């Protein structure tokens, strides 16, 4: 990890961005990602919408590059690892081998999400419904009644605002109370406004409550306050 990279505090722990769509937890030497949505292109192809079929390869390549760059010991993937339950069976042998190689080099932890509830192929990693890592809960979707620090994904948050006449639309990590929601790591994922009512509901936030959007500007960290409406 480059010591010049700025960190932020969540759950009494320090985190920093590892690229715009992943976080690194220095004390645990852990890379955290969410919403890979592997095999999304092949899923769309089955419905007649043809997209370049290289998304899974690109995602796993990027994941491996970041793990090496930050000298990670473990990787946590917080659900919707595949775009659908059958994606694990459509994965090319080449990408399967790349995932297995990651699992041999790092402790690879898959947390299931709503898109891949039937995930059974770990490719050498471990599969969990959720995890408690040193008091921080890792799961796919925020739970409004959770009182412990919680890191999740699912919503693909984006910071959207008009600043000096310019429209800003950037992926972000969103801290709302004791909830931290990661941006989507996948190559073909869209996004939801960080102050959307669905996010507010999942995090137990009310109209007027404040949250913080963190964005990567390597090596700087951009922090913007926002309010739920």
**109-123 average pLDDT score:** 90
Please, are residues 77 and 64 in contact by the beta-carbon 8 Å criterion?
A: no
Is the pLDDT assigned to residue 50 strictly greater than 80? no
pTM value is: 0.93
Does a cis peptide bond (omega within 30 degrees of 0) precede residue 86?
A: no
Q: Are 100 and 134 in contact (CB under 8 A)?
A: no
Q: What is the per-residue pLDDT for 189?
A: 83
Cα within 13 Å of Cα(147), Cβ side: 0
**More reliable by pLDDT, 53 or 174:** 174
CA–CA gap between residue 110 and residue 128 (Å, rounded): 6
Residue 48: pLDDT band by 50, 70, 90 thresholds?
A: low
- Phi, psi (degrees; rounded to nearest 5) at 159: -85, 120
Partners of 193 in the β-ladder: 158
What integer is the mean pLDDT of 158-181? 92
Confidence of residue 218 (pLDDT cuts 50, 70, 90): confident
User: According to the model, what pLDDT value does residue 84 have?
Assistant: 87
* pLDDT of 188: 76
Structure-token pair, residue 58: 């690109």
Please say if the pLDDT value at position 47 is more than 70: no
What is d(CA 34, CA 156) in angstroms, rounded to the nearest whole number? 9
Tokens of residue 205, six digits = 């936030």
pLDDT band of residue 166 (cuts 50, 70, 90) is: confident
**Residue 222 has what pLDDT?**
95
**112's tokens:** 């299931």
Which domains does the chain carry? 8-227 (3.60.21)
State what percent of residues in the chain have pLDDT above 70: 93
pLDDT band at 83; cut points 50, 70, 90: confident
């Amino acid at each position: 990890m480059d010591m010049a990279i700025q960190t932020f505090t969540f759950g009494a722990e320090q985190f920093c961005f590892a690229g715009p769509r992943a976080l690194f937890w220095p004390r645990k030497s852990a890379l955290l990602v969410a919403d890979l949505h592997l095999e999304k292109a092949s899923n769309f192809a089955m419905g007649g919408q043809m997209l370049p079929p290289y998304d899974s390869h690109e995602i796993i390549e990027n994941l491996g590059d970041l793990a090496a760059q930050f000298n990670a010991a473990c990787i946590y993937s917080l659900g919707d690892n595949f775009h659908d339950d059958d994606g694990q069976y459509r994965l090319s042998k080449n990408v399967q081998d790349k995932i297995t190689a990651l699992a041999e080099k790092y402790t690879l932890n898959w947390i299931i999400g709503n898109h891949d509830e039937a995930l059974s192929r770990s490719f050498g990693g471990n599969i969990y419904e959720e995890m408690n890592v040193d008091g921080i809960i890792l799961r796919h979707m925020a739970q409004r009644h959770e009182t412990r620090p919680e890191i999740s994904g699912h919503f693909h948050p984006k910071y959207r605002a008009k600043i000096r006449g310019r429209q800003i639309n950037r992926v972000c990590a969103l801290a709302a109370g004791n909830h931290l929601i990661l941006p989507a790591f996948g190559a073909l994922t869209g996004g939801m406004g960080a102050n959307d009512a669905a996010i507010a509901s999942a995090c137990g936030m009310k109209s007027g409550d404040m949250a913080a959007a963190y964005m990567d500007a390597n090596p700087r960290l951009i922090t913007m306050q926002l309010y739920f409406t």
